[in-house]
Amino acid sequence: MIVTLMDAPLWLGMTVFCVGFVGLSCLVLLALRRWVARMAHDQSEWDRVLSYAVGAYGVFYGVTLALIAAASYSTYADVDQVALSESSSIAVLYRSAEDFPEPQRAELRDALVTYTKNVIEVDWPQQAQLIEPVSGDADVTAIQRAITGFVPADAREINVQAQTLQSFETFVGQRRERIEVTDLGLPSILWTVLWVGALLNAILLSLIQVRNLRIHLIMAGLIAVFVALLLYAIAGFDRPYSGPISVTPAYYQSLLDGLFQRVP
């Protein structure tokens, strides 16, 4: 369900998920309410034992949610940094082409423009579907050939070619990083922990004996909303290339709209 909702707009997916999550939590409460009323005949002991259980569980699950949410956001930020680094290397290579002789200068810049367009139009849609793109290999080869396609005529050109090759090697490494994190995400065991924890959280809140049903539902619903928001955010950060919470190819688009236009 949540995977499907991640393909919807942020406001819609988050709203539907929170409403559904709160609704299920309230159903658990209503299902257990009569049983709790029968079992909690000694209210003082019931409340005392339950307070310890809810308090301890709240700490464990709260810390678990916080740590996983922080780790998921860190992964999202790392993927964004990888995209920024690769686009920066493309900009460096494009600038370095200024010192190349013709026709290698034009070849290198044309290859970089083609590569950047394909990252936006081909690579990103594939990565959004958790598919590692391979079509860009030919573009990388074209860039390499443009750099090594001439014999330096003097010391300056030797130095320019050597420095550009170093930048190219950095670029290739950054491209590999971007591709390798295509299907990066939380292992299934952690998702099991999160979902089982959410269920146990709803059950423990349902075990609290509250005579006023409305107050009980409001209390459980408010806590469920916060848990749902965290789970939705974790799911969004867990898919860094797709969904409403995703790394976009904006850094590459800015090259097409900016540097590539200013430096023909």
- The string of pLDDT tens digits covering residues 161-181 is 999 999 999 999 999 999 998
Residue type, 184: L
Asked whether the whole model's pTM tops 0.75, one would answer: yes
Could you tell me the residue range of the domain that residue 176 belongs to? 78-183+250-263
- Residue 104 domain flag: yes
- Residue 198 domain flag: no
pLDDT at 186 over 60: yes
pLDDT at 1 over 60: no
230 close to 62: Cβ distance less than 8 angstroms:
no
Give me 17's structure tokens.
Answer: 């998920």
User: Could you give the number of structural domains in the chain?
Assistant: 1
- Residue 118 domain flag: yes
Q: What is the DSSP letter of 192?
A: H
- Residue 151 domain flag: yes
pLDDT at 264 over 70: no
Nearest to 25 by CA among 190, 192, 188, 228: 228
- Residue 230 domain flag: no
- Residue 43 domain flag: no
147 close to 157: Cβ distance less than 8 angstroms:
no
CB-CB neighbours of 240 under 10 Å: 25
Position 102 confidence tier, pLDDT thresholds 50, 70, 90: confident
- Residue 66 domain flag: no
Position 5 confidence tier, pLDDT thresholds 50, 70, 90: low
- Residue 216 domain flag: no
